[in-house]
Structure formats: C-alpha cells, structure tokens
Structure 1
Amino acid sequence: MQPYSHARLRHSWLPLRPCPRLLPKESSNTSDAFDTLIESFAFPEKFDFVDIDLGRIRRAARAPQARQLTLHLAIRDAPAESPAAQALSDLDAASFKLFCTPVVNLFQRDATSIQLTSTDRAYPVTPEPLETGTPLDVYSIDAVRLGDRTQSEHEKGASSSTAAPRTAVLPYRALSHGRQPDPTVAYWTAFRDPYAAAGNARAPILLSLIGLDGGSAQVRHPQIDVDVTATNGDLPSRLPIGAPDSDLVHEGAALACPIRLLTQPTLPCSHARGHGALWRVVAGLSLHPFDLTQTGLKAFKDFLRLHAPRTNIVAQRSIDAIVGLDHQPAMKWMSLDGQFPSFVRGIEIVVSLEESALRDVTLHLFARTLDRFFAPYAPTNSYVQLIIRSSQAGQELHRCPARSGTRPVI
C-alpha cells in the first residue's frame, strides 16, 4: 500500500443521526432527546456502531489499486489510568465486526377480534399467535375499529375497494377530540390488570369503550378490531445464541442468509408508573424542568432515572456519576438557522462527572445524550453548549457543539 497524505475523513456514530431507531415513533411531535435517552438506557449495545466512509478513505489514499487499507485512530488526552485508555488496551481486530445492525423484537400484528357483550366493560387484547403457537404480548395499540361480526373474515379475502368500511375509534387520552366533541362518539382506553398476572408474566392488556364523561359507551357495532405492535416478551432473552448456521430465520427472504446474534437479547422492562412517576415525566417536558445549579442537580438526576430501567446497573451508575451542575453566560461567533454569522449570546452548561464511574459508558455518547435536553434553556435567537468536566481533576473532558435554543421568543 502506498503512503498517503493526511486528510479530514468523515465518520459518524449511527445512533446519533435521525435514524436508525429501534423503538417506533410515537408521534411527529415527540422530542428526539427523549427517544435517544430511552434507547441509550434500554439498548446500550446499539451505540457501539460506527459508520466510517471507506470510499473517502480510499480516495484519500491515492492508491486505486490498493487491496488493503490500514486505518489509524489517534487518541489524545487519554491518561493511562483513565477508563478510556484501559478499555482501549484490550482492543484488537477481533473487537470489530462488519455488516452488523441492531434489531428489536417488535412487529405489526392483528389482534383477535373482540365480540362485544351487554355485560362486559373491559375486553382482553390478544394478538393472533404465530404459526409456532407461541403467545405474544402487546407493546402498543395502533388502531381500533368497530365493525360487523363477519366483516373481518370477509375483508381478509376482499380487496380494499370492495371491503365494507369500518368505524375508527379514537383514543380517549389524546388531543384529538375536536373543538365540538360529540357526546355520542365512543373512545377507547386501555390498561393492564395487575391482579391477572401469572407468576413473572406481564399483566394482560384490557380495552374499554367509554364516552367523553369517562363512563361506559354503548355502540351499535357488535365487534372491535384492533391493530397492535406485538412482541415475543421474554422469549428472545431465553433463546440460545451462537449457532454455527444461524440464530434467526428470515421467513420472507428470497435467499437464505444466516443471521447471528452478537449478544443475548435483553429482557423486556417497563418503567414505574406509581407514586406520581407519570406526572414527573410530564413535568420534565416543560421548558425549564430543573435549575441549572447544584440545587437542581437532584431533580435532574431523578428525571434521568425515570427513563432508566432499575435493573440496568450501568445506566444507574452513569447517573450516579453526575456530581455537579452549573451554567454561565457566553458569547460565540456563529450562524443561527443559516443566517449571516454574528456574535450570539448564549449559555454554557457545565456538568461535572466522576470519570471512574463511567468505565462502562462512552463519554462522547453520554455527553451527546445529555446535550439534547438543554436546548429549551435558551431562546431561538440564542444557543446552548454543554461542557463535560472532570470532578476529580477539574479539566474539561468534552465540549459539545453549540446548538440553537428552542424556547420561543415572545
């Protein structure tokens, strides 16, 4: 291979771009900051992926006939006793895998049709089982429709143009009731019955039809059809991995392709909902959910714990590593929203960490995850910049790029 001059090469961490994402997008109005936070705590292995532009590296090498390229990564400001240096000491070629992608056990499924009765007020939502007969669990309810008792069976063999229309039912807890709500329209609500859970299994999800007043609604249609996003529950976490041929089978693939799992699938988990947990999540959606001082440190860490599974020791340890929170005014020559560059007043937010507690977490990823939460602390004509500082040495560990504020200017 011929030597080549140094060039600025592009690389990016896949999960910090708008896609790919593992969990379904709830709505177009949800913040990417919360999506990144939830997935970084739930799927930490997802963030081990890096995208390197090998085509640009080859062009920079100026050796079109080369059959082998050697990529050198220069690491700076990493003392030998730091967690980053210790992790890199065991790095070798076996630590890298090509053609990998994160996957999640979620898929679209129809639920078994629900037959309405005059006595029941709540009905179990049961996804139609797979060919193996393994029972499925409901991750989310995507659509609810009212129809005739024989309509669903007829529609399976009919085209969309000849199928009889069904009446869509909107969710009760949503901002879709309209300015002039109709008291005769029914809405759906769902909940899990904690008393019906057997052993360690999740409680079944129940669906009810109610009116605007929250009472039971009477409808003319005899059947409810439900579309859900389903999952196999804890079954993937109990499957053996490392088979020589393939761990998974792609049923719809035209060509056979082995699918091997690098790590054991994680156990499903759900966040706490009692003791005002949901209200604390809603409070965190405000523009200033906590003070950017040492006084607001506890509220900041408590808010992060609302999105971290209690069984995830690494996530809990990462939150414990945050020991300081402060801010200071700043000014930077920059361009906002593509406008002409100028001096812009902004705010620098300083988060102090104990480096020793982050030995299992990438500092760059943890900083970028926190960075997205602080955009509402500045108006749209200003900027926010997060700085990560070592609590032991007091030195700056990471400085995130300045991002425009999102708070509306009145």
Structure 2
Amino acid sequence: MDDLVRYYERELALLREQAREFAERYPKIATRLALRGDSASEDPHAERLFETFALLAARAAKNIEDDYPEFTKALIGTLYPHYLRPFPSCSIACFDVDSSRAAQMSSSVTIPRGTELYSRPVRGTKVFFRTAYDVTLSPLQLTGARFHAIAQVPSLSRAPAGASAQISLTFAIQSGHASAAELQLDSVRLYTQGEPQFTAALRDALSMRALCAYVEPGQSGRWIALDRFPFSAAGMTRTDALVPYPETSDPAYLLLSEYFAYPEKFGFFDCDLRQAGRLGGRQFTLHVLLKDILADSAEARILQSLATEHVLLGCTPVVNLFETTGKLSDQASASSTEAAYPLVVDEQVAHAYEVYSVDSVTQTKQTAQGDKVAVFDPLYSLRHSLRPTRDTIYWKLHRDDLAARNSPGLEVALSFVNGDLEVAPPPNALDCKLTCSNRDLPAHLDHGLPGGDLTLEGGTLARRISLLHRPTRSIRFRHGHNALWRLISQLSLNPVLLTGGAEPIRDLLKLHDLQGSAISVRQIEGVVNLTQQVVTAWVPSQPFAGMVRGIEIHLTVDPDCFAGTGVHVFAKVMDELVSLYVTSNSFTQLVLLSSKDGEELLRCPRRTGSAFLT
C-alpha cells in the first residue's frame, strides 16, 4: 500500500493538471464541474470522483510498471516458491541430556529432522517448531575446551611447520555401559555459542587456520595424528534446509536466502569421530593446530576465553512451520476478475496463523465402491492433465498484502478455474492440507526458562529443550519496483555474474538480503571485485587421470566488512552459488582474496556442480 500512495499522488496530480488545462480551454463546460483555475473543484462530489479515478489508475499503473506481476509470480512460484512466501521465525534449540540418564545409556538415540516441538501458549496459542537437523542424544559429553596461544605439542610428536596456536576439545563417555566404539557414533554436530565476534573467530580458526589434528587417548600425553581433518562446516546440504522447497529449485539460491535471513543456522560443525573414537577409548582429546594466529593478535585475545559453554552438543535450528488443515471461508473476496476464497486455519484466532504453502487440495466422495478421492492440481504447476476438459478444476493461490496488514490470517485465498481457464465455483467439502506458521507470535515467546522452552510430544531423553536465542520475526521478500523481474534475470544463468565485476554479484546479494540490517549491508559492500580465468588442472580419476579445463573465480572482499561475522560461511555460500556456472567436463574453483594486500584468504576445493574433484 505504501508503494500505491506514490502512484496515487502521481495520477491525482496528472488529473488535476489536465483539469486545469481543460478549464482554460473550455471554461463554459468547466463551470458545470465547478472547476477553479487552480484545478481544484468546489463540488465535493467531483473531487471524490477525481480521487477515486486516481486510485483506480494508480493500481493499473503499478501493475504496468511491475511488468505484469501475475506472470512473474506464477513463474517464480513454480520454480522457486520460497521467494513468494514469508520466511518464518527461527531459533536454535538445545536438547540437554540429564547426566543420570546419560550414565544408563548403552546406545545413542537420534531425533530425526522434521520432529515437531511446541511451546507454552503465547497469547492463547501454542507455537509449533520443527527441527532442521538430526539431533543425536548420547552419553558422549564435551568436558573440556581450551585455546592455547602457543602450540603445546609433545616432544614425541612432530608439529607441522607454521603451527602457532592450538584448540583442544575433550570428550568423555558418561555411561559405564558403552565405549566410544560401541556407541557407533560416526560423527557429532557441534554448535558454536557465544558473542558473534567470538563465534566468528572460532569458526574461521577451525575452517581457515587449521593445519592438522591429533587425538590424545585419556590424559596419556601421547598424540596420534589423524589421517583426515575431523571438522567440517555443516548446514550446506539440501537435507539441512530450514524451509521446504521443490526439487526444481537449486539449493544454492535457498542457501543465499537463509544466509541473510538466519545466519545462526551456519554456526554448526560436524566432528568426525570414526578414527578418534576408535583410538581414544572412553575419554579422548582432539587437538587442532592452527597457523597464522600470533600470541598477541586480536584473534588470539578473542579465542582466549574458549570454554565448554561455547561448544554445545545436541543442538539444532528450529523453524516455526507445521502441517495442518484449513478450510475455505464462505465469504469470497475480489481478486482481479475472480472470486477468491480465503483459507482459514482457525476462525477464532485467524491472526495467529499464516499459510506458508498449500500442499494439497482434495475432495472425498462416498460411492458404492467406497470413498473416492479427487485431487485438484494448482493451475501454475508441472502436474497438469495431458487432456484437460471443462470438468477439470484447477486452483490458484492469491496472497493479498493489504489483507495481511488489515486482516491477518485472511490474506491467502484460493480461486478456481476449469480446463478452459474459465472461472469455476469451488468444489464442495474440500480438504486443504497446509504448511503454516504462527506469524510473529514466536518473537513474543519467553526463552531461557529453567524448565525448558519447548516440549516434544511423547517425551525424550532430554531433561529440557531450551531455546538459545529469542525467535526471530518472520520476514518477507520485497516484490515491488521490478524486484521479481530482476530476480528472474539473476536466476537465469548467464556469464554476466562472473564477468561484470562486483556490481552483478552485489545486486544478487541485495535481492536476497531480506532483513537489510546494518551487518548484511556492510557485508554486501565488502564485496570489492569478482573476476575469472580459465585454468587447467590435473584430476586423478578412474579408470584414467587427465588434464581438465575449468574456471578459477577470484572473489575479492574487504575483511573489515566481515568483522564479527567471519568470512568462511560467506565464502562457502558463494562457492555453492558459482558452482552453478560449471559446464560439462569442467570445474569451478573459488578463491577468496583480501582487498587490502591481495592475500589469499581461502581456496575452495575444485568442484563440478555439487560434486568435489579429488
């Protein structure tokens, strides 16, 4: 509506200017409308007509300048629907295992991704969350976490050249019934908790400064070198997405949206325990040697406070989404030239729910042969009947931004058309399966309560489930000012992104920056340049190794613009993005450079699409 005011004022000013010229040219006729020389009318009814016409013309002008939003929304809604949907509230949940229960455990228990949790009522309504990652509950506990500004390597172990600092994490099995090997814990997922500046320094140290890792069984003082570095950044795969999206969507764009909408999602590390657990027994310490961190550096001073409360087990992002059913309101609203019927979850508290997606629309009819279920497909989809008829019914989804502000809970509506695209009445007794959120209710949820903040239906081994952060407010993409067309242009792969310098990549980042916070704006401004060059690399493969031509992409950033947030997660997200530009029998490799001195900050592995070359 704020955008419409600008068009309304422009149309009204144009109408008054034309009225003034009309009054000067045809004064006799103008007197019938009580037009004065200043283009205003003394007749209040004529003034209301001017204003009404200006409002109607403003709506038409806005649609014209948005370049037919019905088409752009239909296209994006089919391929990348999350751009049209609100990004729901998110937080980090921690499952705290009671020490007495951990002592009795003989195996680990996994709480799968998508498990539903609920809170105490907020303003009379329960808030529901679903987990984004698998959570493993086990008797394995983190009992120590330390940073040493000077590497303390035993004399019997050889430290690699350049090792200057050290991070040590100690794990212990609290159960007397199982060893690390018997628990069969291949890996655990760790969450870095603390002030943003501290967690950013810790993530960058483990990801960009690590030289090698050792395992120390018990407190023996004997370090055993690990063949593989055990830590890797989590949250980058399709199965770790916060929100659902179709197979037609490329996960790189969703990663970009999630990075700006909820960057805390990427504060996780996977720790590979297959070798360490086998060698370490019931207690072991992982020692990570770091490079380029001097004892008197700012990074060393920040990491000096590392303790067990900064590295947590049993955590996962949670998102305010849940599956439910809805029904069509009996009162239709006008949507373009069609009658649209609002989808309502609970008429008594409609404002407490927001439809995220319509998952299915069906109708059940009782026949002599039993219940017959008719499935209605969306009009804009890839599931149309090959031979639609006049009896074939499709549904269209409408989101009304004005209704979202004035009548929350009634902004999503369905209209129906037949196979000839003619308006059709809604079928009777429809069953609508929905994915919904609680709008902004989670942001008012009390967190950090002694007894926990969330509950799992049926109980769990965890004594409490706590939220580590206050849930965020839901946020939305900006669709005005040709934003959707610019988004379609950016989503269409073309070489401009890799050859146009910093501006094209900045434009893409701005489109995905939903919050527009000072931190994200500073990061986008920190992208200084992007160039590419053709390179040739030796790639070992079976049955024959060979030389492969690829693209090396140099992304230059200002490290100061990423102070407090770190550059590693940003680089990994950008690596996923530029990997889309690979061609057959080729590869891409992202190299992150500093704008200050041209120093190479990070060199990502070569990859061909989603696969890494070894």
Bucket of the pairwise TM-score, normalised by the shorter protein: 0.7 to 0.9
SS of equivalent to 1:39: helix
1:135 Cα deviation from its structure 2 partner: 2.6
Distance in structure 1 (CA, Å) of the matches to 2:299 and 2:249: 33
Q: Structure 1, unaligned stretches of length 5 or more?
A: 152-161
Give the structure 1 partner of residue 513 of structure 2.
Answer: 308
Q: TM-score by structure 1 length?
A: 0.84
Matched, 1:381 2:585: yes
What residue is the counterpart of 2:277 in the other structure?
58
Corresponding residue of 1:72: 287
In 2: Cα distance, 1:182 partner to 1:86 partner: 71
Would you say 1:127 and 2:334 are equivalent positions?
no
2:267 paired residue number: 48
Match for residue 142 of structure 1?
Answer: 359
Partner of 1:240: 446
Is contact 2:439-2:474 (8 Å) kept?
yes
Q: For residue 365 of structure 1, what is the aligned residue in structure 2? A: 569
Match of residue 256 from structure 2: 37
**How many residue pairs are counted as aligned between the two chains?**
387
Name the counterpart of 1:326: 531
In structure 2, the CA distance between the partners of 1:292 and 1:117, relative to structure 1 (3 Å rule), is: closer
Farther-moved stretch of structure 1 (307-316 vs 296-305): 307-316
Cα contact 2:261–2:515 (8 A) shared by 1: no
The alpha carbon displacement at 1:203 in A equals 6.4
Deviations 1:199-233 (A, max 9, x none): 695762111112456542246x3233211101111
Which structure: greater strand fraction? Answer: 2
- Of the candidates 90, 98, 101, which is equivalent to residue 313 of structure 2? 98
**Against the structure 1 CA distance between its residues 340 and 260, is the aligned structure 2 distance closer, same or farther, given a 3 Å change threshold?**
same
Q: Distance in 2 between matches of 1:118 and 1:273?
A: 22
2:560 aligns to what SS in structure 1?
A: helix
2:404 alignment counterpart? 197
Q: Which moved more, 1:4-13 or 1:250-259?
A: 250-259
Q: Any conservation in 1 of the 2:328–2:341 contact (CA below 8 Å)?
A: no
User: How far apart, in 2, do the equivalents of 1:86 and 1:79 lie?
Assistant: 10
Deviating more after overlay: 273-282 vs 9-18: 9-18
> Structure 1 residues 196, 216: CA separation in 2 closer, same or farther (over 3 Å shift)?
same
Q: Is the 8 A contact 2:328 2:342 kept in 1?
A: no
Aligned to 1:401: 605
Shift of residue 256, structure 1, vs aligned partner: 7.2
- Correspondences of 1:241-320 after superposition (within 5 Å): 241-253=447-459, 257-288=463-494, 290-293=496-499, 295-320=500-525
State the Cα distance separating 1:192 from its structure 2 match: 1.8
CA positional deviation for 1:117: 7.8
Shift of 1:113: 5.0
Computing the radius of gyration from Cα coordinates, the structure with the larger value is 2
Which residue of structure 2 lines up, in the alignment, with residue 350 of structure 1?
554
Shift of 1:323: 0.7
Distance 1:87 1:163 in 2: 69
Compared CA separation, residues 87 and 270, structure 1 to 2 (3 A): farther
Alignment partners' CA distance in 1, 2:302 and 2:544: 43
Q: What corresponds to 1:167 in structure 2?
A: 374
Higher helix share: 2
Distance in 1 between residues matched to 2:251 and 2:297, nearest whole Å: 31
Match of 2:86 in 1: none
Aligned match of 2:91 = none
Q: 1:307 to 1:81 in 2, by over 3 A?
A: farther
Which range moves more in the overlay, 282-291 or 111-120? Answer: 111-120
Structure 1 residue 339: deviation in Å? 5.6
In the TM superposition, residue 127 of structure 1 has moved relative to its aligned partner by 1.9
Q: Does 1:107 align with 2:322?
A: yes
Shift in Å at residue 90 of structure 1? 4.0
| Per-residue CA distance 1:34-55 (angstroms, 9 max, x = gap) | 2222222222111111121235
CA gap of 1:291–1:12, structure 2 versus 1, over 3 A, is: closer
Aligned mates of 2:577, 2:310 — CA distance in 1: 32
Determine if the alignment matches structure 1 residue 28 to structure 2 residue 247. Answer: yes
Match among 231, 241, 245 for residue 11 of structure 1: 231
Q: Distance in 1 between matches of 2:297 and 2:518?
A: 20
1:80 and 1:208 map into 2 onto residues whose CA distance is 66
Equivalent residue number for residue 384 of structure 2: 177
Structure with more contact order per residue of length (Cα contacts < 8 Å, sep ≥ 6): 2
Residue 177 of structure 1 aligns to a residue in which SS?
coil
Identical pairs, percent: 34
TM superposition score normalised by structure 2:
0.57
- 1:353: how far off? 0.4
Q: SS at 1:381's partner residue?
A: coil
The answer to whether the 8 Å contact 2:501/2:529 transfers is no
Structure 1 residues 405, 225: closer, same or farther in 2, change over 3 A?
closer
Unaligned runs of 5+ in 2: 1-218
- 1:367 & 1:134 partners in 2: Cα distance? 39
The one-letter amino acid paired with 1:23 is V
User: What RMSD, in angstroms, separates the aligned Cα atoms of the two structures?
Assistant: 3.2
Q: 1:252 to 1:125 in 2, by over 3 A?
A: farther
Deviation of 1:333 (Å): 0.7
Give the Cα–Cα distance (whole angstroms) in 2 for the partners of residues 261 and 183 of structure 1. 52
Alignment match, 1:155: none
Q: Quick one: distance in 2 between partners of 1:206 and 1:48?
A: 37
Closer, same or farther in 2 for the Cα pair 1:281/1:179, shift >3 Å? farther
C-alpha displacement at 1:280, in angstroms?
A: 2.2
